[in-house]
Amino acid sequence: MKKRLGISIVALAAVGGVIWVYGPEIREMFTPNAAGTTKVATAQQGSAQAPIPVDIRTVAIGAVRQQIEAIGSLRSDESVVLRPEISGRVSEILFEEGQPVKRGAPLLRLDAAIARAQVNQARASIILSRANFSRAKELATRGAGTQRTLDEALAKLSTDEATLALAQATLDKSTLQAPFDGILGLRQVSIGDYVNPGQAIANIESVEQLKVDFRIPEIHAQVIAAGQAIRVRLDAFPNANFDGRVYAIDPAIDPNGRAVILRARLPNADKKLRPGMFARVTLIVEERPNAVLIPETALMPMGRDIFAFRVVDGKAVQTKLRTGLRRAGEVEILEGLKAGDSVVAEGAQKLRDGQYVRESKLASGS
């Protein structure tokens, strides 16, 4: 007990000595100055206000666009398989496979001997019918003929005229003509073949410009419209892009894939693109060339709101934002910032509103 008492007396003596020696300095540190603050508080405040190093970026202006990716196929602007409307034996083939052809050019003829004979027969019959009708009409005018005879002559003339028209149509259909300007495909018949109505002869394709058919999920139905631009990439031309424009949208949703079918036109003046090619399509829904952009890393989601720290006079000011479209690593700002503002791009997580910040040496050096 006496030992503990002695130790306590020694400790109190040591504390008293420290106070006696450093008393004035201690009293000065805790004595308020004219501003009402002590040296201890001032030191703590200075430590708290030391600028925090962060990556500071300037708000930029750039182009952004909303786009939808899809896949599709190239189609001919016009495409048809030539097929005869009558049966017959092929007598002439007037085209070369794979060659261009003009609209109305004869491509194939069937043996028309029978059709030609039927035309001649109808013409001979119609000559007699016209003579009989003229005679019956003259007699009726004189009152020497009956009205019935005149009616029968007129009916026979009309029947022979119809027979001639039918025979002439059959003769005309023995020659197949190109329905439009295009390039002929591979023929499926040879001279001497007997063909039936509807049998495939050859395909003809119009490829001065092509169509692109592609599908967009129905969730985007409200943002698509005729006139929107597309950019097409093809496996056959991996280093090239081809621009076109949507001109038609199917009014019905495809129930199998719940998608909207769009059709666009694609120029093909050099004819290097071919129908049937697989296409990777980018539909450009909206494009804004003067968008306000900041790095995505500057955003700080808080509940349903999004904030960023704007740097004003060396201080980080928490600012609420309204964002728009995005592109690689950047986001469009619709409200809250303007071009030329400075924002904290990295390091915002360690900041509080109103803290002093400075440019990080690491960020400025990079």
Query: What are 206-228's pLDDT values in tens digits?
Result: 999 999 999 999 999 888 999 99
> 69-76+207-288 sits in which CATH class?
mainly beta
CA separation (Å) from 121 to 27, 156, 174, 269? 138, 15, 18, 50
How high is the mean pLDDT of the chain?
84
Which of 15-24, 170-179, 317-326 comes out lowest in average pLDDT?
Answer: 15-24
Q: What percent of the chain has pLDDT over 70?
A: 85
Q: Which residue has the higher pLDDT, 63 or 8?
A: 63
Within the chain, all domains assigned CATH 1.10.287 are found at 112-173
Within the chain, all domains assigned CATH 2.40.50.100 are found at 84-110+174-200
> 84-110+174-200 sits in which CATH class?
mainly beta
Neighbours of 76 (CB within 10 A): 21
- pLDDT band at residue 13 using 50, 70 and 90 as cut-offs: low
Q: Which residues of 321-352 are buried (b: 16+ CB within 10 A; e: fewer)?
A: bebbbeeeebbbbeebbeeebbbbbebbeebe
> 52-64+289-365 sits in which CATH class?
mainly beta
pLDDT (average), residues 139-161: 81
Within the chain, all domains assigned CATH 2.40.30.170 are found at 69-76+207-288
Instruction: Count Cα neighbours of 167 within 13 Å in the Cβ-side half-sphere.
Output: 20
Q: Are 212 and 277 in contact (CB under 8 A)?
A: no
107-129 pLDDT, tens digit per residue, is 999 998 888 998 998 898 888 88
Which of 31-35, 74-78, 137-141, 308-312 comes out lowest in average pLDDT?
Answer: 31-35
pLDDT at 56: 87
Domain 112-173 has CATH 1.20.120: no
pLDDT (average), residues 313-328: 88
Three-state DSSP state, 242: strand
Within the chain, all domains assigned CATH 2.40.420.20 are found at 52-64+289-365
Concatenating the DSSP letter of every residue in 282-333 gives: EEEEEEEEEEEEEEGGG-EEETTEEEEEEEETTEEEEEEEEEEEEETTEEEE
Amino acid sitting at position 8: S
